A and B are shown apart, each in its own frame.
With several copies, the nearest count.
Chain A
């Protein structure tokens, strides 16, 4: 036991720290970004053992000039691209107005998805409308891409009398069964194994619908992540498990979640499922990777983990001020650019779009948001109208048990008094 010979070294704790903090200039020098078009596109039934390099690469389609290059280029008609562009622009306009609405006290809370619009919009479009979505709070783009009513979303945000969730949920915690959009939970990660369970059920019943779920980079550390991957792998569940790596979890950079040790896509390797790492600000790449994973799932080849590499350009939520923990201009230096600008550039490069058309689109979606906002405000904003308090006792159980009847009566008595 020769190790005794040397004087033992003192141990020390390594605590990861981002390269730049407030006061520093935003800077991503040294970040290795793969060349667009460089990654091969394997067959969707390729065995996992042949895919173990993918988590360390980055699937990119759009190059710096806006050209789509390489094997991953999806065969998309221009109207699909235009629909995607519009949905992303609408999402952004919605986010802007709703953040303002929060500042004005019309709602208590809001979460923007600025810079991450390609993730939800391209993924929603690459899936079938009857595939089931288990989102986190930052995928409002899924609903918008599925053409859900933004008025309805606003009523939830304003907790007004038309709020389909009857004022029960924190703003942004939508639930839209009509669009196969699962009820969002405030507890991080819980939807991940639920999506796997839903997909298992679909397989048990010999159905054809698959499921998809989204969590953030920070949330990968939760138990639910491990449970979801384990169950999905063991039963080959037809599910797409997405990790939106937007570099931050409130004030913690992705290194605190282990992002400096390995990519999040690499987590998949240990479970024997394919892990794809994708330029999350590249609409085409996100679409193509999602389509690949969906096809794999639909043919009983099981789950895929997709890491969507992107950047949270705005604050975590309206309760947060990122200038306290990261350089104020960091977003501007993000090397993968802005997803809307990049798709716009691509369409212009294709000769199917122009700056003028884009300006008009931005004005149009903003007008759409404003119109819905006026309607929503007419119904009510936080506190001005709301669900009947007695409804609070409904849906705790399917039927109202005696003790809740009595409590409801107590409340109504107290309110009457």
Chain B
């Protein structure tokens, strides 16, 4: 099986879907001739032509607005928003339109679109190239929200997202494009080569939306995470000596409630980790769910390890980033509580 990094896996997912379904079209800023600033759509215009893969004006609201119209026509648009930080100009079209079209028309019209967008920090991108706004979208009913943590999942989830008849926001942790990253920014860069999740089949396969993956089984604490933080949590589990069960949620909405419940009921402890700012973030919802479903099993307070409630600061990004040390501390304190 070929080894792919995350960009290659995403490119392969789009390639497979363009080939299978002539209703799939791809557009966004710089995605056409150039193939995207992160190269995720490289060669696709050459292969499928200018009317199926094309550059757009710099207007995220226009990209989403036209994508919805195309979806209503019967196409399956896959659009790129160059950075998740730039999704806000499209917010009204996403929230008021894409998310509600099927419901408000009682099933007459819908918008089967996929919005790909690189998110997360750790690349010295400063406050407008580092955000993780998933917590805003998980509050909007009618949108599905996905965030993969490795090439294999990225391809399978992206194919599932494109084939899905509902709008899907597909966040790609850009720090993982070229290799796994466990938060030890002072250590040498790793590439995906040799990583088991980088073995990616060439052809079509799907990873069902809404299903989590237990990436490290354990007995003592359940760790809920996604995206880059999966790797940070795995490292923290090893470093802490705590037998943590690390769950990669993969899809945030709809979330895999059963997997979460089953794990926390078993471990009785739960740590939630994300890179986004804390207050009102997706971790709050996870905390509320766990508490509602597993209250009588909890032996320690649920803790959140997250980015701070500040913009993502350029030069202080490693102080902002919820790295392994902070996760280790949370795991230990979960174990100590009683």
What residues of chain A have their CB less than 8 Å away from a CB belonging to chain B? 12-13, 15, 17, 21, 108-109, 132, 134, 159, 163-171, 173, 175-177, 182-183, 185-188, 190, 192-205, 211, 218-219, 221-224, 226-228, 230-231, 234, 249-252, 256-258, 319-320, 324-325, 382-383, 386-387, 389, 392-398, 401-404, 407, 411, 414-415, 417
Known: A175-B105, A231-B62. 13 other contacts (CB 8 A): A15-B54, A168-B314, A168-B315, A175-B106, A188-B58, A197-B77, A198-B69, A204-B25, A228-B65, A230-B57, A251-B33, A383-B315, A387-B315
Listed A/B pairs (12) with beta-carbon separation below 8 Å = A163-B315, A165-B104, A166-B106, A187-B86, A193-B68, A201-B74, A249-B58, A382-B315, A389-B316, A392-B313, A395-B106, A395-B107
Q: Identify B319's interface contact among A249, A411, A417, CB under 8 A.
A: A411
Check B116 for interface membership: any CB of A closer than 8 A. no
User: What residue of chain A has the Cβ atom nearest to residue B54's Cβ?
Assistant: A15
Check B308 for interface membership: any CB of A closer than 8 A. yes
Q: How many whole Å from A67's CB to the nearest CB in chain B?
A: 38
Q: How many whole Å from B75's CB to the nearest CB in chain A?
A: 5
Taking CB atoms, residues of chain A closer than 8 Å to B59 are: 221-223, 226-227, 230-231
Query: Given the interface contacts A222-B58, A251-B33, A387-B316, does A200 sit within 8 Å of B66 by beta carbon?
Result: yes
Q: How many whole Å from A212's CB to the nearest CB in chain B?
A: 12
Taking CB atoms, residues of chain A closer than 8 Å to B329 are: 414, 417
Q: Identify A256's interface contact among B56, B61, B92, CB under 8 A.
A: B56
Contacts of B223-263 to chain A: CB distance below 8 A: 254-255, 257-258
User: In the complex, what distance in Å separates the CA atom of A231 from the CA atom of B144?
Assistant: 27
User: In the complex, what distance in Å separates the CA atom of A205 from the CA atom of B70?
Assistant: 11
What residues of chain B have their CB less than 8 Å away from a CB belonging to chain A? 25, 29-30, 32-34, 37, 50-52, 54-59, 61-62, 65-75, 77, 85-86, 88-89, 92-93, 96-97, 101-110, 124-129, 141-142, 144, 164-166, 210, 254-255, 257-258, 278-279, 308-311, 313-316, 319-320, 325-326, 329
Taking a contact as CB atoms under 8 Å apart, the answer to whether A250 and B62 are in contact is: no
Q: Identify B69's interface contact among A171, A197, A250, A415, CB under 8 A.
A: A197
Taking a contact as CB atoms under 8 Å apart, the answer to whether B166 and A193 are in contact is: no
Taking CB atoms, residues of chain B closer than 8 Å to A386 are: 315-316
User: What residue of chain B has the Cβ atom nearest to residue A232's Cβ?
Assistant: B66
Taking CB atoms, residues of chain B closer than 8 Å to A204 are: 25, 51-52, 70, 75
Taking a contact as CB atoms under 8 Å apart, the answer to whether A251 and B34 are in contact is: yes
User: What residue of chain B has the Cβ atom nearest to residue A171's Cβ?
Assistant: B314
Taking a contact as CB atoms under 8 Å apart, the answer to whether B315 and A187 are in contact is: no
Taking CB atoms, residues of chain B closer than 8 Å to A224 are: 61, 65, 93
Taking CB atoms, residues of chain A closer than 8 Å to B67 are: 197
Taking CB atoms, residues of chain A closer than 8 Å to B308 are: 392-393, 404, 407, 411
User: What residue of chain B has the Cβ atom nearest to residue A258's Cβ?
Assistant: B57
Taking a contact as CB atoms under 8 Å apart, the answer to whether A389 and B309 are in contact is: no
User: In the complex, what distance in Å separates the CA atom of A198 from the CA atom of B313?
Assistant: 27
User: In the complex, what distance in Å separates the CA atom of A205 from the CA atom of B21?
Assistant: 12
User: What residue of chain A has the Cβ atom nearest to residue B258's Cβ?
Assistant: A402
Taking CB atoms, residues of chain B closer than 8 Å to A396 are: 102-103, 141-142, 309-311
The 10 tightest CB contacts between A and B, nearest first, are A197-B69, A186-B128, A193-B65, A167-B315, A170-B126, A227-B62, A197-B66, A221-B57, A159-B315, A251-B34
Q: How many whole Å from B211's CB to the nearest CB in chain A?
A: 12
Q: How many whole Å from A394's CB to the nearest CB in chain B?
A: 8
Say whether chain B's binding surface is mostly helix, strand, loop, or mixed. loop
Taking a contact as CB atoms under 8 Å apart, the answer to whether A218 and B66 are in contact is: no
Taking a contact as CB atoms under 8 Å apart, the answer to whether B61 and A193 are in contact is: yes
Taking a contact as CB atoms under 8 Å apart, the answer to whether A187 and B319 are in contact is: no
User: In the complex, what distance in Å separates the CA atom of A193 from the CA atom of B70?
Assistant: 10
Taking CB atoms, residues of chain A closer than 8 Å to B75 are: 201, 204-205
User: In the complex, what distance in Å separates the CA atom of A361 from the CA atom of B315?
Assistant: 35
User: What residue of chain A has the Cβ atom nearest to residue B123's Cβ?
Assistant: A108
Taking CB atoms, residues of chain A closer than 8 Å to B166 are: 397-398
Taking CB atoms, residues of chain A closer than 8 Å to B127 are: 168-170, 186
User: In the complex, what distance in Å separates the CA atom of A251 from the CA atom of B41?
Assistant: 13
Taking a contact as CB atoms under 8 Å apart, the answer to whether B65 and A168 are in contact is: no
User: What residue of chain A has the Cβ atom nearest to residue B33's Cβ?
Assistant: A325
Taking CB atoms, residues of chain A closer than 8 Å to B92 are: 187, 190, 223
User: In the complex, what distance in Å separates the CA atom of A159 from the CA atom of B124?
Assistant: 11
Taking a contact as CB atoms under 8 Å apart, the answer to whether B105 and A170 are in contact is: no
User: In the complex, what distance in Å separates the CA atom of A387 from the CA atom of B310?
Assistant: 15
Q: How many whole Å from A408's CB to the nearest CB in chain B?
A: 8
Taking a contact as CB atoms under 8 Å apart, the answer to whether A190 and B97 are in contact is: yes
Query: Given the interface contacts A222-B89, A392-B310, does A407 sit within 8 Å of B65 by beta carbon?
Result: no
Taking a contact as CB atoms under 8 Å apart, the answer to whether A403 and B254 are in contact is: yes
Q: How many whole Å from A224's CB to the nearest CB in chain B?
A: 6
User: In the complex, what distance in Å separates the CA atom of A270 from the CA atom of B237?
Assistant: 59
Taking a contact as CB atoms under 8 Å apart, the answer to whether A183 and B54 are in contact is: no
Taking CB atoms, residues of chain A closer than 8 Å to B254 are: 397, 401-403
Q: Identify A192's interface contact among B32, B51, B65, CB under 8 A.
A: B65
Taking a contact as CB atoms under 8 Å apart, the answer to whether B37 and A319 are in contact is: yes
Q: Identify B106's interface contact among A164, A187, A199, A202, CB under 8 A.
A: A164
Taking CB atoms, residues of chain A closer than 8 Å to B69 are: 134, 193-201, 211
Taking CB atoms, residues of chain A closer than 8 Å to B74 are: 201
User: In the complex, what distance in Å separates the CA atom of A188 from the CA atom of B82?
Assistant: 12
Q: How many whole Å from A417's CB to the nearest CB in chain B?
A: 7
Q: How many whole Å from A169's CB to the nearest CB in chain B?
A: 5
Taking a contact as CB atoms under 8 Å apart, the answer to whether B279 and A397 are in contact is: no
Taking a contact as CB atoms under 8 Å apart, the answer to whether A168 and B103 are in contact is: yes
Taking CB atoms, residues of chain A closer than 8 Å to B258 are: 402
Taking a contact as CB atoms under 8 Å apart, the answer to whether B314 and A159 are in contact is: yes
Q: How many whole Å from A183's CB to the nearest CB in chain B?
A: 4
User: What residue of chain A has the Cβ atom nearest to residue B37's Cβ?
Assistant: A250
Taking CB atoms, residues of chain A closer than 8 Å to B107 are: 394-395
Q: Identify B320's interface contact among A21, A132, A194, A392, CB under 8 A.
A: A392
Q: Identify B109's interface contact among A108, A164, A183, CB under 8 A.
A: A183
Interface centre among B30, B104, B127 (most CB of A within 10 A): B104
User: What residue of chain B has the Cβ atom nearest to residue A163's Cβ?
Assistant: B315
User: In the complex, what distance in Å separates the CA atom of A219 from the CA atom of B92?
Assistant: 15
Taking a contact as CB atoms under 8 Å apart, the answer to whether B129 and A186 are in contact is: yes
Taking CB atoms, residues of chain A closer than 8 Å to B70 are: 197-198, 200-201, 204
Taking CB atoms, residues of chain B closer than 8 Å to A175 are: 104-106, 108-109
Taking a contact as CB atoms under 8 Å apart, the answer to whether A251 and B54 are in contact is: no
User: In the complex, what distance in Å separates the CA atom of A219 from the CA atom of B329?
Assistant: 45
Taking CB atoms, residues of chain B closer than 8 Å to A168 are: 103-104, 106, 126-127, 311, 313-316
Interface centre among B29, B107, B315, B329 (most CB of A within 10 A): B315
Q: Identify B309's interface contact among A12, A197, A325, A404, CB under 8 A.
A: A404
Query: Given the interface contacts A200-B66, A201-B75, A386-B315, does A393 sit within 8 Å of B325 by beta carbon?
Result: no
